[in-house]
Amino acid sequence: MFLENTIQNNLHSGWIEVITGSMFSGKTEELIRRLKRAQFAKLKVEIFKPEIDTRYDNQNIVSHNATEIVSTVVPAAANIRILADTCDVVGIDEAQFFDNEIVGVCNDLANKGIRVIIAGLDMDFKGNPFGPMPALMATAEYVTKVHAICTKTGTLAHYSRRKSNSDTLVMLGEKEEYEPLSRTAYNKLNQKKKS
């Protein structure tokens, strides 16, 4: 019986879930939904966001639909490792803004038996993989890719087009600064820009 209990306890392991897609695709909404379910189940949940994300609230994670959940603001991924050590579930929003250490932090937490749920943009406004997101998707057990609706075609969108000419990689914004586009619409607008 002792051996069976030991084996059963060792089988309890954590995992990583990544929710990704373009802007306005519902990533944060889905993250909040999963975290609230974990709270409802009376699990110990800690939620984090990067200090750079001040769009809707300096403290809480807030979706475009104004759904929100209390979070802890951290300057770097290393802080999460320290603050989340005794949790059952860890939620992380806007993961693309964290340094590459976020990948090791998430793996360390999962290896300790913690369920890690991460949301972030898969691509930047230029259509390139964004920060640590490719590595997070590669190491995650579960990846959910959500899509917005293209503002030009009405089809599924997975690009986040920046409306301004700013070339800065990180620029916080909303519908005034960004729009979700399909591959066809994104490429068409980029062709016009080049000519």
Contact 50, 97 (CB under 8 A): yes
Partners of 142 in the β-ladder: 17
C-alpha to C-alpha distance for 31 and 175, rounded to whole angstroms = 21
Q: What is the C-alpha separation between 1 and 162, in angstroms, rounded?
A: 61
The residues that are catalytic are 94
Spatial distance between the Cα atoms of 195 and 174, rounded to a whole number of angstroms: 27
Alpha helices per DSSP H over 76-182 = 77-83, 101-111, 133-139
Residue 111, C-beta contacts closer than 8 angstroms, at least 6 positions apart: 13, 14
Structure tokens at 176: 């005034």
Distance CA 119, CA 13 (A): 21
The C-alpha angle 94, 98, 103, rounded to 5 degrees, equals 100
